[in-house]
Amino acid sequence: MTETLEFRTAIRDALAEELERDPTVIFFGEDVAAAGGVFKATPGLYERFGPDRVFDTPISELALAGAAYGAAVTGTRPVFEVMFGDFMALPMDSLINQAAKFWYISQEQGSVPLVVRSAVGAGGRFGAIHSQTHATWFQGVPGIKIAFPSTPAEAKGLLKGSIRDNNPVVFLEHKRLYSVKGPLPTAEQEVIPLGRARIARGGTDLTLVSIGKGVPDALDAAERLSTQGVDVEVVDLRTLRPLDLDTVLASVERTNRILVVEEGPRLGGWAAGLLGMIAEEALHDLDDAWTLTTSETPIPYSPTLEDAFLPQAEAILESVTARLGVAAG
């Protein structure tokens, strides 16, 4: 059997390898050290690297972000965890007004190599305030990068790339991916530089763009659409800032149709923003362009409501068949 990697293990391995490689890397957060993380993504790191480099902190998200900023501008490379993405509302001042600004307003005297990891996303019945995806809260902030991996191999490579990146990185881990197993990283996936999308599946009829868990959902839908004669190209953006527009434009030039799938509301979402840029740059290439997003409400708790809320594989399939007039197969 081919060797596989679990998503949560990929996170742990990336941290361990970077802690091992670079003595200035430290890792901290709530319950990440002795307990190994509430999603069991970081067990063993505390035992291996000791309390000076891997440590538990108070439940003080603002202090954690400020501490990461102060440490990052003075020669340390901090990685910290804000347990659920929803909690990212608390440290926003430090991340937005300190970390994201430093490189520019200091006239490039130094940079802020910090990474803040969080578990995000709905589908786990966690309710409105433990299920959000905070990417769009930060996408409009110059100076901050946003990475959101879609597979275990991608998670490992993107986290290593984020830790080596000299800028503040908001790193999202979809909680419904933690138990997913997948192939080991290829040589190219060992360390993935931020800002380059990847073609997750080649196709000629439609460009389907997503990120994070949206990518396996899109791939699932694409496989089913292929049996109906629709050849879908799936683009995994990998990062939402910077945004690899070129890869999307090149794909749209081939397919002339684009669907962007976002687990979040359309208004103010990254999907609508991306479509706007595609329209601005490549209207001549477009036969059709649309988004599949959530409704404009908070995320519901009840399983029936939450399942209906999410743009998962089935919903993507229905959206494409309805839009392209394909006979349901």
Partner 1 sequence: MARLQAQEQGDSTGEKAVEPFLDGYARMLLIRQFEQAMHRLFLRGEIHGTTHLYAGQEAVAVGVCMALQPDDYAAGTYRGHGHALAKGTAPEPLAAEMLGRVSGVCGGRAGSMNVIDIENGLVGCFGIVGGSIAAALGAAISAKRQGRVAVCFFGDGASNQGYFHECMNMAAVAQLPVVFVCENNLYGEFTPLAAATAGADIASRAAGYAMPSEVVDGNDLWAVKAAADRAVTRARNGQGPTLLECKTYRHYGHSKSDPGAYRPDGELEQWLERDPLKLTRERLLSEGVEDGDLASIDARVNAELDQAIERALAAPYPDPLQDAATEFAA
Binding-site ranges for partner 1 (CB under 8 A): 26, 52, 55, 57-58, 60, 62-76, 78, 93-94, 97-98, 101-111, 142-143, 145, 166-167, 242
- Of the two residues 108 and 280, which places its CB atom closer to partner 1 in the complex? 108
CB of 187 to partner 1, least distance (A): 23
- Of the two residues 71 and 218, which places its CB atom closer to partner 1 in the complex? 71
CB of 90 to partner 1, least distance (A): 8
CB of 53 to partner 1, least distance (A): 9
CB 286 within 8 A of CB 255: no
Based on the residue annotation, tell me whether 130 is a catalytic residue of this protein. Answer: yes
- Of the two residues 26 and 206, which places its CB atom closer to partner 1 in the complex? 26
Longest dimension (CA), the chain: 61
- Of the two residues 100 and 235, which places its CB atom closer to partner 1 in the complex? 100
CB of 17 to partner 1, least distance (A): 21
CB of 164 to partner 1, least distance (A): 12
User: Which member of 130, 134, 174, 284 is catalytic?
Assistant: 130
- Of the two residues 93 and 287, which places its CB atom closer to partner 1 in the complex? 93
Catalytic residues: 130
